[in-house]
Amino acid sequence: MTDRIITAHPLTREAFAPFGDVIETEGAHHYPINDGRCERYHDLARVEANGPNARVLVSLFKGTPYAFPLKLSMVERHPLGSQAFMPLSPAPFLVVVCPDTDDGPGEPQAFLTLPGQGVNYPPNRWHGVLTPIGTPQDFLVVDRGGDGSNLEEFHFSHPYEIRLPESAGA
């Protein structure tokens, strides 16, 4: 069976709204602090840390790039907490999420970020693992620590082929 082909679309707050938060200054509520010497872009993502001894973790991920077209055979989710990825370099990366169905994750939705955009997945949002494009990329990651299992994986019976839009080049 040929792989089912999914082409990534540009990430926008509106398009991603059913799946999670886009972390960006564009369109965000902001206000000056520190006597006007700093602008606060406020409350961009909902962080959740649930379950026994839950706490919020701040980590750094050094991501290795993936080749494209990408073979997507697995997605995962974190039932006990959210997970946010904020790139530390101005390069796009790939975001893959799936709607929920009665039988597990539905058809993947692929998004290509603008340089500087980050994303936050709410608890239980099926997503692909961190996917840098073309070059290694570091991320600040805010997610949940604590007791209990916070990782579920789903392996597709047939992988998807994820393609970048023509303009992306990788």
Tell me which residues touch ligand UGC (CB under 6 A): 76, 83, 127, 129-130
- The rounded distance, in Å, linking the Cα atoms of 113 and 110 is 10
CA angle 130, 78, 67 (to 5 degrees): 20
- Using the rule CB under 5 A, give the single segment among 64-72, 76-84, 91-99, 153-161 that binds Ni ion: 76-84
CA nearest neighbour of 79 among 154, 153, 151, 155: 151
- The rounded distance, in Å, linking the Cα atoms of 161 and 2 is 9
CB of 36 to Ni ion, least distance (A): 38
Check whether the bond before 79 is cis (ω within 30° of 0).
Answer: no
Nearer to Ni ion, 83 or 109 (CB): 83
- The rounded distance, in Å, linking the Cα atoms of 132 and 74 is 16
Nearer to ligand UGC, 127 or 142 (CB): 127
**How many residues bind Ni ion, per CB under 5 A?**
1
CB of 99 to ligand UGC, least distance (A): 17
CB of 15 to ligand UGC, least distance (A): 20
- Using the rule CB under 5 A, give the single segment among 31-39, 63-71, 79-87, 98-106 that binds Ni ion: 79-87
Q: Are 86 and 21 in contact (CB under 8 A)?
A: no
* Residues near Ni ion, by CB under 5 A: 83
